[in-house]
């Protein structure tokens, strides 16, 4: 009875999520197409009609691709759960490994391999058909394959020991296992923040210290003004994969580094680069990054507590198409089911994250306007919108639901106001 009720609840949320995605995507496509033939007035003198049309076509292609991908992922999810895919996989593995840790880890690895292969055509299509058509792809097939192999090996080397630790904690530490698992998981996340910029990212890209002296002293001036210490300024060869440009921070504590994509440095003038960086420094100085980490850790504690309860409920398994093994350990299955179905139940809450994120963007823009020049930020933003073919006319509801950044026109209007207030005119940053 409970099992059936849970199946029904899952199907309701599943349909709600897909329906919501479909509705938002259709609205977005219609809205963008309706505004395809006219550059919005405030951008009329800055962005040519051809670029505006390209942005519309790119947005529509990406939105349609995203929807088809979501439908495919939904079918795969139903196949693994209600249609018995995980059950069959577990039974087949049990014959090979017998019960125990090998079966547990085997189940998650087998799922990972199958799900990864089922997703591969989409990754390929996105890079070599969609991005290619709009001139953004700079990857060769060889590089793509090397990335895929490297990424898979890396997640095995890092992920398998972590998985083993979590499963051992689930099995041996009693009712409060999820507290220990959370401590291990959070420690691991912090470790990755140190390892990512120094060890992992350099496996995929080349990082060279920024060599342009005048740009360097300009940036160092800005960092001194806002009181920011960093281990270094680096340029990343982003152009070997994509012509999209960006800038970001990584690391924390004494390990902080600022990374510019070579594609960004090529397109923006030094004052614009400074304004973009001032925006990023704003995120740091206003503690947005720390806040984001604290929220993520708190949420993962809540989710683990929920899993701690769910893993002892038979209906949680049977409601999702799995018969739990009697008198045996079902931890890996519980973990897998939880990770698979959680997004179905959390998707309707996505706008909450977007709202916070957009609030932070406005704050970082205001920070940039007061520590750099609002006009430079605006002209950098306009270039980045154009170069990345980001639409200037998103559907307002689609944008409110998904977008981590405010729509271009609203963002730039705020910057003009901030610029007028500080008497420095308007400045801005990253669209992606
Ligand atoms: Zn930002």
* Residue 204 domain flag: no
Give 321's contacts (C-beta < 8 A, 6+ positions apart): 81, 82, 83, 84, 85, 86, 87
Query: Residue 326 CB: number of other CB atoms within 10 A?
Result: 6
Question: Percent of the chain beyond pLDDT 70?
Answer: 96
- CA 225/CA 390 separation, integer angstroms: 32
Q: Return the pLDDT at 254.
A: 66
Q: Which of 131, 272, 274, 280 is catalytic?
A: 280
Q: Percent helix, strand, coil in the chain (nearest 5)? A: 75, 5, 20
Q: How far is the CA of 279 from the centre of ligand 1 (A)?
A: 6
149 sits in the region (left: phi over 0; alpha: psi -120 to 50; else beta) called alpha
pLDDT in tens, 378-400: 999 999 999 999 999 999 999 99
**How much distance in Å is there from the Cα of 151 to the middle of ligand 1?**
27
**Is residue 272 annotated as a catalytic residue, yes or no?**
no
Portion of the chain with pLDDT greater than 90, in percent: 82
| Cα angle 343, 349, 409; round to 5 | 115
Domain count, the chain: 1
What is the reported pTM?
0.89
Say if residue 432's pLDDT is above 90: no
| 231-247: average pLDDT | 87
pLDDT surpassing 60 at residue 160: yes
Distance of CA 96 to the CA centre of its chain: 37
Kindly report the backbone phi and psi dihedral angles of residue 99, in degrees, each rounded to the nearest multiple of 5, phi listed first: -70, 160
Q: What is the pLDDT of residue 250?
A: 77
Cα(224) to centroid(ligand 1), Å: 20
Amino acid 392: pLDDT: 94
Task: Name the residue range of residue 65's domain.
Answer: 1-181+296-432
pLDDT at 232 over 80: yes
In a domain, 284, yes or no: no
Task: Give residue 385 CA to ligand 1 midpoint distance, Å.
Answer: 14
Residue 181 clears pLDDT 60, i.e. is over it: yes
User: Is 131 domain-assigned?
Assistant: yes
Helix (H, G, I), strand (E, B) or coil at 233: strand
Q: Pick the closest to residue 310 from 346, 350, 342 (CA basis).
A: 342
The active-site residue out of 272, 331, 361, 365 is 365
pLDDT at position 295: 95
| Cβ neighbours, 10 Å, residue 201 | 17
Residue 253 counted as domain residue: no
Concerning whether 280 is annotated as a catalytic residue, the answer is yes
Report, as an integer, the average pLDDT of 324-351.
93
Give the three-class secondary structure for 368: helix
Q: Radius of gyration (Cα) for the chain, nearest Å?
A: 24
Task: Tell me if residue 242 falls in helix, strand or coil.
Answer: strand
Predicted confidence (pLDDT) per residue in 253-286, tens digit? 667 888 999 999 999 999 999 999 999 999 989 9
Tell me if 10 is assigned to some domain: yes
Has residue 328 got a pLDDT over 90? no
Residue 431, pLDDT above cutoff 50: no
Q: Specify if 212 maps to a domain.
A: no
DSSP 325: P
Cα 301 off chain centre by? 20
Distance, in Å, from the CA atom of 356 to the CA atom of 342, rounded to the nearest integer, reads 21
Q: Alpha helices of 173-311 — where are they, by DSSP H?
A: 177-195, 201-204, 213-226, 262-267, 270-285, 288-310
DSSP state, residue 243: S
Does 3 map to a domain? yes
- Per-residue burial over 175-192, b if 16 or more Cβ lie within 10 Å, else e, is eebbebbbeebeebeeee
**Contact (CB, 8 A) for 261 and 206:** no
Mean local confidence (pLDDT), 134-140: 94
pLDDT average, residue stretch 97-124: 95
245 Cα–ligand 1 center, Å: 14
For residue 247, tell me if it sits in a domain.
no
């Amino acid at each position: 009875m409970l099992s059936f009720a849970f199946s029904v609840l899952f199907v309701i949320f599943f349909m709600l999520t897909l329906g919501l995605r479909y509705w938002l995507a259709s609205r977005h496509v219609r809205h963008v197409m309706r505004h395809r033939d006219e550059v919005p007035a405030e951008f009329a003198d800055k962005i040519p009609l051809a670029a505006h049309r390209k942005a519309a076509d790119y947005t529509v292609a990406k939105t349609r691709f995203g929807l088809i991908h979501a439908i495919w992922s939904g079918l795969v999810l139903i196949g693994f759960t209600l249609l018995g895919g995980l059950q069959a996989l577990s039974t087949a593995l049990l014959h090979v490994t017998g019960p125990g840790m090998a079966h547990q880890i085997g189940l998650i690895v087998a799922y990972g391999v199958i799900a990864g292969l089922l997703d591969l055509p989409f990754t390929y299509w996105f890079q070599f058909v969609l991005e290619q058509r709009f001139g953004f792809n700079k990857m060769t097939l060889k590089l793509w394959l090397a990335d895929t192999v490297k990424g898979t090996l890396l997640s095995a080397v890092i992920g398998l020991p972590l998985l083993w630790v979590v499963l051992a904690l689930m099995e041996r530490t009693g009712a409060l296992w999820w507290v220990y698992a959370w401590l291990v998981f959070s420690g691991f996340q912090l470790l990755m923040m140190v390892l990512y910029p120094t060890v992992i990212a350099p496996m995929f890209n080349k990082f060279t210290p920024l060599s342009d002296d005048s740009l360097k002293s300009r940036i160092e001036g800005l960092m001194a003004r806002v009181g920011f210490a960093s281990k270094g300024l680096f340029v990343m060869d982003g152009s070997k994969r994509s012509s999209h440009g960006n800038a970001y921070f990584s690391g924390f504590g004494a390990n902080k580094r600022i990374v510019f994509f070579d594609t960004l440095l090529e397109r923006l003038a030094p004052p614009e680069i400074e304004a973009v960086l001032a925006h990023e420094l704003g995120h740091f100085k206003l503690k947005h990054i720390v806040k984001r980490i604290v929220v993520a850790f708190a949420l993962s504690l809540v989710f683990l507590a929920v899993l701690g309860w769910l893993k002892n409920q038979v209906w949680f398994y049977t409601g999702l198409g799995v018969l739990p093994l009697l008198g045996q350990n079902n931890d890996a299955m519980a973990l897998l089911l939880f990770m698979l179905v959680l997004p179905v139940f959390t998707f309707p809450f996505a706008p909450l994250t977007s709202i916070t994120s957009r609030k932070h963007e406005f704050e970082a823009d205001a920070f940039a306007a007061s520590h750099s020049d609002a006009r430079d930020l605006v002209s950098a933003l306009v270039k980045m919108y154009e170069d990345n073919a980001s639409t200037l006319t998103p559907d307002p509801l689609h944008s409110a639901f998904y977008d981590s950044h405010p729509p271009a026109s609203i963002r730039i209007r705020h910057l003009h106001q901030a610029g007028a207030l500080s008497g420095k005119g308007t400045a801005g940053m990253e669209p992606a």
